[in-house]
């Protein structure tokens, strides 16, 4: 039996799955936690990766590995391979003003045409501008800019800080893939190339794509990871990259190209044109596989590339599962208790609406907004209504993303609902009432890690595997509720500042 492994280095944790390369059957798995926060030192990801490998029983019998990772996180490296400062993650909104500045300087239409997206605080390019404007001492040290999965892949190959890594700080060995590169704001899904003029506008320095050859970084020119194509290999795991753990890792493990988390999830699900995936995790995402690149000058839909050679239009909300955990804490119940309360209330929650912008929002682009309840009266202010409004509000934010994908011409024939929160019965039932598509719920699984494992098998065998995914239909609604309309009316109060 040939085994392959996939990694999901997400915001909250690192997950590892080991699968049979022929069938895709899960053999074993492991995980380790990441610290909370919106800026994290990448060494924490490296620690968690090692712990997750150990928890998965080691990788001595694994033939190939690939890494899926949270998108947009800015990893800055100096010429010696050291991390310059903790990485600013996708959910760090301090660069909202930088996003506005870049959009004003280039124009939303031109930005969307050149990169498939319009800057918001999540994207790497805005964080680069923020560093330039607020931390000149950090900026002066930067020799390379990478993303989380790029950095982990580079470290697995044996590269890293001088004196503490087997192969040293060769920045020209940095690699990425088209899906993760497309979330930076300075790479074009249309041309398949970096837009170096946009990078220089953001950071004030020239940049070049890594050559793939061991070389010394030129002073004053920032290195960007070399973009590999679907099915390519990034190299091999270095047997000494975890020091004494070399026996567990083995020296012959092939490394796939890796991917951004949503693109990896699409691979893991086997998503095809017509499928819309809604993922409810730390963030909420709505994405679909498309055969042509798109651009949305409003910025609602980002025109990313996917990990298979197609495209991945996506709308993202900052507020998803944590909305439910926050409201559950206020109601002094666990997740199951929140579900039971929510199902006691009628659809529409008696007119109670939660606008769930607890941490600002990305879709719509309201980085400084806060959450609010609307429609409260003496009669409607009940624990069941509050619980149901939390789930409805969170899902309606995602339904707005689905509307935006359709506006851009995307096909939508069925909806795949994934993420830890969707195992909640109330979330499944209410989703069937909120979304006007047939809703199916794939069997619980780590689909980002599974998608990375697809890449590993692809790199090893030379062709993309076709692993089956079991799905179940969500409960069918006995009516189509007007929940989204109620949510949009309340959300408009935030949008207009009223």
Judging by DSSP bridges, how do beta strands 75-77 and 62-69 pair with one another? unpaired
261 is catalytic: yes
CA atoms within 13 A on the CB side of 80: 7
DSSP class per residue in 306-341: -SSSSEEEEEEES-SHHHHHHHHHHHT--HHHHHHH
C-alpha to C-alpha distance for 214 and 192, rounded to whole angstroms: 23
Query: How far from chain centre, in Å, is Cα 191?
Result: 22
Q: Of 64, 76, 85, which is closest to residue 156 (Cα–Cα)?
A: 64
Using DSSP's 3-state secondary structure scheme, residue 279 falls into: strand
C-alpha to C-alpha distance for 456 and 464, rounded to whole angstroms: 9
DSSP class per residue in 42-60: THHHHHHHHHHHHHTT-ST
**Which residue has 């050291």 as its token pair?**
82
Which one-letter DSSP state was computed for residue 164?
T
Using DSSP's 3-state secondary structure scheme, residue 278 falls into: strand
Asked if residues 64 and 460 have their Cβ atoms less than 8 Å apart, the reply is: yes
Structure tokens at 462: 């030379």
What b/e readout covers 76-87, taking b as 16+ CB neighbours within 10 angstroms?
Answer: bbbbebbbbbbb
**Residue 407 CB contacts under 8 Å (≥ 6 apart), including other chains:** 301
Structure tokens at 400: 């707005």
Q: What are the strands of the beta sheet with 75-77, ordered from one edge?
A: 75-77, 144-146, 221-224, 206-209
Residue 76 Ramachandran class (φ > 0 left, ψ -120 to 50 alpha, else beta): beta
DSSP class per residue in 211-237: -SS--PPPTTEEEE-EEEPTT-EEEE-
**Which residue has 């300075």 as its token pair?**
186
Asked if residues 6 and 451 have their Cβ atoms less than 8 Å apart, the reply is: yes
Structure tokens at 24: 């895709």
Catalytic residue among 261, 275, 290, 306: 261
Backbone angles phi, psi at 425, to 5 degrees: -60, -35
Structure tokens at 248: 């567990």
CA atoms within 13 A on the CB side of 11: 20
The residues carrying an active-site annotation are 261
């Amino acid at each position: 039996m040939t085994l392959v492994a996939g990694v999901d280095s997400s915001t909250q944790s690192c997950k590892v799955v080991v699968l049979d390369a022929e069938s895709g059957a899960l053999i074993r798995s492991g995980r380790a936690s990441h610290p909370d926060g919106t800026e994290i030192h990448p060494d924490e990801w490296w620690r968690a990766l090692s712990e997750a490998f150990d928890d998965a029983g080691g990788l001595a019998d694994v033939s190939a590995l690939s890494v899926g990772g949270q998108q947009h996180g800015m990893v800055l490296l100096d010429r010696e391979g050291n991390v310059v400062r903790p990485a600013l993650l996708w959910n760090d909104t301090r660069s909202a003003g930088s996003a506005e500045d870049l959009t004003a300087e280039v124009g939303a239409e031109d930005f969307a045409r050149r990169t498939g997206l319009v800057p918001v605080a999540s994207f790497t390019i805005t964080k680069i501008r923020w560093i330039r404007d607020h931390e000149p001492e950090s900026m002066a040290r930067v020799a390379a800019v990478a993303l989380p999965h790029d950095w982990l892949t580079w470290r697995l190959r044996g590269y890293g800080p001088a004196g503490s890594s087997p192969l040293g700080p060769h920045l020209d060995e940095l690699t990425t893939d088209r899906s993760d590169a497309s979330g930076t704001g300075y790479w074009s899904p249309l041309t398949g190339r970096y837009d170096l003029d946009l990078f220089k506008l953001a950071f004030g320095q020239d940049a070049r794509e890594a050559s793939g050859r061991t070389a010394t970084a030129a002073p004053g020119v920032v290195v960007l990871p070399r973009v590999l194509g679907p099915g390519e290999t990034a190299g091999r795991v270095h047997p000494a990259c975890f020091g004494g753990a070399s026996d567990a890792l083995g020296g012959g493990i092939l490394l796939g190209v890796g991917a951004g988390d949503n693109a990896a999830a699409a691979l893991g699900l086997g998503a095809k044109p017509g499928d819309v995936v809604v993922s409810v995790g730390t963030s909420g995402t709505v994405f679909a596989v498309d055969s042509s690149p798109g651009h949305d000058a409003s910025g609602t839909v980002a025109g990313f590339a996917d990990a298979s050679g197609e495209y991945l239009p996506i709308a993202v909300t900052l507020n998803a599962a944590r909305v439910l955990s926050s409201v559950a804490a206020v109601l002094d119940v666990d997740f199951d208790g929140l579900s039971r309360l929510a199902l006691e209330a009628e659809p529409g929650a008696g007119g109670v609406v939660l606008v769930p912008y607890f941490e600002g929002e990305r879709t719509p682009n309201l980085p400084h907004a806060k959450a609010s309840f609307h429609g409260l009266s003496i009669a409607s202010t009940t624990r069941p209504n509050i619980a149901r409004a939390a789930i409805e509000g969170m899902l309606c934010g995602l339904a707005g993303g689905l509307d935006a994908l359709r506006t851009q011409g995307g096909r939508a024939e069925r909806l795949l609902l994934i993420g830890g929160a969707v195992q909640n019965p109330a979330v499944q039932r209410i989703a069937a009432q909120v979304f006007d598509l047939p809703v199916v719920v794939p069997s619980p699984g780590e689909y980002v890690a599974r998608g990375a494992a697809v890449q590993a098998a692809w790199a090893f065998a030379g062709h993309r595997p076709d692993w089956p995914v079991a799905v179940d239909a969500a409960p069918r609604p006995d009516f189509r509720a007007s929940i989204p309309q109620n949510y949009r009316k309340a959300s408009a109060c935030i949008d207009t500042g009223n």
